[in-house]
Amino acid sequence: MIEKPADWFDKILPETVAEHPEKIAGFNGTIAFNISGDLGGEWAVTINEGKVEVRKEVAPDASFSVKIKDVNFIKMMNGELSGPNAFMTGRLKFKGEISQAMKLRGLLFS
């Protein structure tokens, strides 16, 4: 369970990739996260050759970007909101190639 988006970027994401490297297989690039709200911020997650680097910054060169409110990001990462549901209801927005995002479905969205 996470209480704020930073928890996911700082702890859950690195642990998940370390335990399940297959979740990032086939993806090389940068994902920009723009999370609005009091607990939000901007993160750049770069995946290259099976390694993940997380930076708290804007990523203008991202392969795709994700825009979501902090409360919805927390619900999604805690399994209370599915990625497809969030997308279909406009709570989760993508910019870029959706096919790239789908490669990370098991990591980012359930």
Domain range list for the chain: 5-104
Residue-level length of the chain: 110
Q: What is the per-residue pLDDT across 9-23, written as a single tens digit (0 to 9) for each?
A: 999 999 999 999 999
Can you tell me the distance from the alpha carbon of 17 to that of 39, in angstroms, rounded to the nearest whole number? 23
- Sequence-distant (≥ 6) Cβ neighbours of residue 17 within 8 angstroms: 23, 24, 52, 107
Beta strands in the chain (DSSP E): 29-36, 41-48, 51-55, 64-69, 92-96
CATH topology classification for 5-104: Nonspecific Lipid-transfer Protein; Chain A (3.30.1050)
Q: Let me know: does 53 contact 19? Beta carbons within 8 Å.
A: no
Model confidence at 110, pLDDT cuts 50, 70, 90, reads: low
Quote the pTM value. Answer: 0.91
